[in-house]
Amino acid sequence: MKQSPAISQVLAEVGPRLRRLRTQRGVSLTALAEATGISKSTLSRLESGQRRPSLELLLPIAQAHQVPLDELVGAPEVGDPRIRPSPRSVNGNTVLPLTRQPGPLQAFKMVLPATRQTPDLCTHEGYEWLYVLSGTLRLLLADHDLTLGPGEAGEFDTRLPHWFGTTGEGPVEVLSLFGRQGERMHVRARPRERSRPGR
């Protein structure tokens, strides 16, 4: 099976890492061989890169040095999982993307101003999920006229005529999940000549 360049690079770095760890601890090959049950010649070939590292060789070495296995193979560091969203204004709404990677679903936090109260229904491919963080959300879906308060959620097929906004009493904060079609429709839309609330 052909290895990826990344895996080949990781394997090539194991030997030098093993030698560096052993010498830093002042352990001889003979002593390490006694502690692990691995022959001195095998350990030497492993450190020089002439022997391919395997789990059955690395586990006893990790136990002898009392280090986690990933320290021997140089596991990649875990990146910072925090997302620092950059708010942008779309048709008068404040939109904060909460998803870093491209994918079939995208998450957004939206802050809808109190002035967003004139319904303008739209339809598009996709499915949408909404969760109200604060305020009172007005949701029009086909023949339904609904209000959702903090902690309430809604989901619907966006091929149905829909719009959501405020009741006019104050702004609304919403978490929203939708696909690429919905993102293009809702958070990348450009204002038209006739003011379109976007949803």
The residue ranking higher by pLDDT, 52 or 7, is: 52
Question: What tokens does 142 get?
Answer: 């086909």
pLDDT of residue 25: 87
Q: How confident is the model at residue 81 (pLDDT cuts 50, 70, 90)?
A: low
Tell the residue number behind the tokens 């379109």, with chain if given: 196
pLDDT of residue 8: 77
**For residue 109, is pLDDT > 50?**
yes
Q: What are the E-state strand segments in 40-169? A: 88-90, 93-97, 106-112, 127-134, 137-141, 144-148, 153-157, 162-166
**For residue 181, is pLDDT > 60?**
no
b (16+ CB within 10 A) / e for 85-110:
eeeeebbebebbbeeeeeeeebbbbb
**For residue 191, is pLDDT > 60?**
no
Mean pLDDT of 149-159: 91
Q: How confident is the model at residue 76 (pLDDT cuts 50, 70, 90)?
A: low
Q: How confident is the model at residue 5 (pLDDT cuts 50, 70, 90)?
A: confident
Mean pLDDT of 88-94: 84
Across the beta sheet with 172-178, the strand order is 88-90, 93-97, 106-112, 172-178, 127-134, 153-157
Mean pLDDT of 162-173: 94
**For residue 182, is pLDDT > 80?**
no
pLDDT of residue 189: 45
pLDDT of residue 90: 82
pLDDT of residue 68: 84
**For residue 123, is pLDDT > 80?**
yes
Mean pLDDT of 143-168: 93
